[in-house]
Amino acid sequence: VQLQASGGGLVQAGGSLRLSCAASGSIFSINDMGWYRQIPGKQRELVATITKGGTTHYSESVKGRFTISRDHAKDTVYLQMNSLKPEDTAVYYCNADLVTMARRYLELWGQGTQVTVSS
């Protein structure tokens, strides 16, 4: 069971990017999914989360600019990032709380995808 993130890149300030993260393997169900980010030398911080039922939560720094969503059929979570700022530059990690077909509870992290916003 793993998470595979994609969609990072280099964009100018004010631009947009869309991150995707797909879960694969022997999955029974996925509960909460989310996105976090980390700048070198700093702690990983929450960006946004979404529950199985679709309830979302955002950090104050991205509220109104970023939108988290998920596709249950594809076991995928997305992060639409608009009005990007240089301070959004970081490595973005996806996260999922899930249950495997063997009924094991796991918290998984994706491999991280770099987002760089130039001024």
Measured CA to CA, the distance from residue 3 to residue 11 in angstroms comes to 24
CA atoms 12, 91, 49, 75: torsion sign: positive
Predicted confidence band at 91 (pLDDT cuts at 50, 70, 90)?
very high
Average pLDDT over residues 8-17: 97
Question: In whole angstroms, how far apart are CA 51 and each of 16, 30, 61?
Answer: 24, 9, 20
* Tens-place pLDDT, residues 53-70: 999 999 999 999 999 999
Measured CA to CA, the distance from residue 46 to residue 54 in angstroms comes to 17
pLDDT of residue 55: 98
Q: Retrieve residue 15's tokens.
A: 């631009």
Tokens 């100018």: give the residue.
12
